[in-house]
Chains A and B, each alone.
Chain A
């Protein structure tokens, strides 16, 4: 070791500053800070780039960008707005999150605490396979298999549960917000499940065993020792999943019927998202059209930011709790 212990015979407790700084500290810290700064620079550059490209389009817009529903930036008088797109992005992503998170946490718990030890690793690998499927394949599977498949259950929901506004409406099709959200849910499941699994595996064994020794059932042990410990990790995982869902481009472009309306009826042929719209419009767009698509990308950033900040506030309040208890 490069340092030597300072003498301690009978003296006061050793203070941190008494340690001779190792020669590696400076460069290593520099590397870490440097990496962070590089990341920051990349992100700032992307933000600047987007703003620069978006401004001419926003200036040419003859309508209010934030509330307008239609999307026609390539017309002679450009009219476009993200009203319907932002709505679709938020609804589909949150729906996907709501469907996916409980299942993902269940899967993570299964692998970390319920499955036979020998199988746990293999089962984890199997669930990770879901992440290996490329998004275009999910899109094709969604369109060829899930869309026709969902027609039956959607009709069922519409027949019996139409009093809930979500499931109401006159037209029920397979290519709906619900199907797209389901595909998104499947796509983000492995992310949430994998990270949650790693988090649960790190739960302090001492506390688990103490709970069991006191006669807790397995569920009670999990509830007392594992879940509180894992809450920040699960929230981070969910946020990563949400980010993926909001930015998913190709899979939803294939499934969404690409309408520009705001409708809470998730079984009807309505739905579009910012990213899907970019995928649909990019190949043929004029410069104004591209600028408009990029401006919609900026809105996506803002949405992601708002959601993430809100979630981080929740974690921050809990963090002292978890760290102190660890």
Chain B
């Protein structure tokens, strides 16, 4: 320990020299080419802060990459702290736009508060990403499980407790089902995925509880925090079943069940089948506010009913002068073909053509 003082100094110097060398330039080692056309000397510069849903974190990462590569002077910071936190931050004025799994909620007075934030204009919900929700299960030996909404409701309400229950048999006449106990997992933290899933159950499966972001305690089952923990729990527990975003299901190679839509047809979850449900959705907002009303009991052919649409919530008019050009440019990119294409393979479904053109018109109108 004679050289204690000198050792300490060396350690401190070592750390600080590390501080001297670091870079933001990640373009050398990325395999995928950037899909945005590189604007000749894009003059945009500045920073946008945004916050919201973690379901679109992956989408945001791709969009940021494409947009920032084309506009090297801009930094987009997206904090995936949750839809509620995002909307709150937007209303408080600390972020330029919010990503939310559900549109501004009238019952809670959010549209009025958001309009107040926008001062001169109104706040609009712009659907940008479809995140389908898969029903994943872990039952060895059973492939291509089919489930009707009422069966799903019974399972998650802890009424159907074994895999060889008659209700499940009825949905799967040709499968051999074991008699293991069903372990139903749900999100222990509040989430937009739970919100959409319970809305689906309410509309189609006589779900006795109010739909919401928090899983109803009376429905029992086991909780896991975050989509990542849900995927891990299902993967490691035999007899498990749960609901999770498609990207997590694909990444953990979980088996997805086919869900029956309103016409009784069992539909497999693919980006196309999810897109069909959104196509059949009605626009509940006025003007450029594209808030959607999803029909979870849709009978459209080949439509997978459990979908989650993520909105970008921003001001049609009334953004600050610094935020305006950046937000408009960014949202133009995300709604463009290049932006939407960059999401393929990430577990999202592209917006149907009819909807995307309305979104583009709405973005154009931001001023």
Contacts and interface: CB of A to CB of B under 8 A. Distances in A.
Interface of A: 70-72, 74-76, 143-144, 148, 173, 175, 253-254, 256-260, 269, 279-287, 289-290
A72 B81 CA distance: 20
A290 B85 CA distance: 10
A283 B81 contact: yes
B48 to A, nearest CB: 20
Interface in B4-60: 54
A285 B189 contact: no
Contacts of B83: 283-284
B192 A284 contact: yes
A158 to B, nearest CB: 17
B187 to A, nearest CB: 9
Nearest to A72: B214
A148 B222 contact: no
Contacts of B217: 70-71, 259-260
13 contacts: A70-B217, A75-B210, A75-B212, A76-B107, A253-B189, A254-B225, A254-B226, A269-B222, A279-B189, A280-B225, A281-B190, A282-B85, A283-B84
Given A72-B214, A175-B222, A286-B84, A280 B108 contact: no
Contact of B189 (A75, A281, A286, A289): A281
B210 A258 contact: no
Closest 7 CB pairs of A and B: A283-B82, A258-B188, A284-B84, A284-B190, A280-B189, A258-B223, A284-B213
Q: B interface, by DSSP: helix, strand, loop or mixed?
A: loop
B161 interface: no
A175 to B, nearest CB: 7
A257 B188 contact: yes
A143 B229 contact: yes
A280 B189 CA distance: 4
Interface of B: 54, 81-85, 88, 105, 107-108, 188-192, 210, 212-214, 217, 222-223, 225-226, 229, 232, 236
A290 B84 CA distance: 10
A284 B85 contact: yes
B108, B214, B222: most-surrounded residue (chain A CB, <10 A): B214
A259 B226 CA distance: 16
B367 to A, nearest CB: 30
Given A75-B212, A280-B188, A287 B88 contact: yes
A144, A256, A257: most-surrounded residue (chain B CB, <10 A): A257
A75 B217 CA distance: 13
B123 to A, nearest CB: 16
Nearest to A175: B222
Contacts of B108: 286-287
Given A173-B222, A253-B225, A254-B226, 13 more contacts: A71-B214, A74-B190, A75-B212, A143-B232, A144-B232, A269-B222, A280-B188, A281-B214, A283-B54, A284-B83, A285-B84, A285-B85, A290-B88
Nearest to A253: B225
A287 B192 CA distance: 17
Nearest to A285: B84
A289 B84 contact: yes
A173, A257, A284, A290: most-surrounded residue (chain B CB, <10 A): A284
Nearest to B213: A284
B170 to A, nearest CB: 28
B227 to A, nearest CB: 13
A258 B221 CA distance: 10
A74 B82 CA distance: 15
B252 to A, nearest CB: 13
B242 to A, nearest CB: 14
A256 B188 contact: yes
A283 B189 contact: yes
Contact of A148 (B212, B214, B229, B236): B236
Nearest to B102: A284
Contacts of B189: 253, 258, 279-281, 283-284
Contacts of A260: 217
A70, A143, A286: most-surrounded residue (chain B CB, <10 A): A286
Contacts of B188: 253, 256-258, 280
Contacts of B210: 75-76
A144 B84 CA distance: 28
A68 to B, nearest CB: 12
B84, B232, B236: most-surrounded residue (chain A CB, <10 A): B84
Given A253-B225, A257-B223, A287-B88, A282 B82 contact: yes
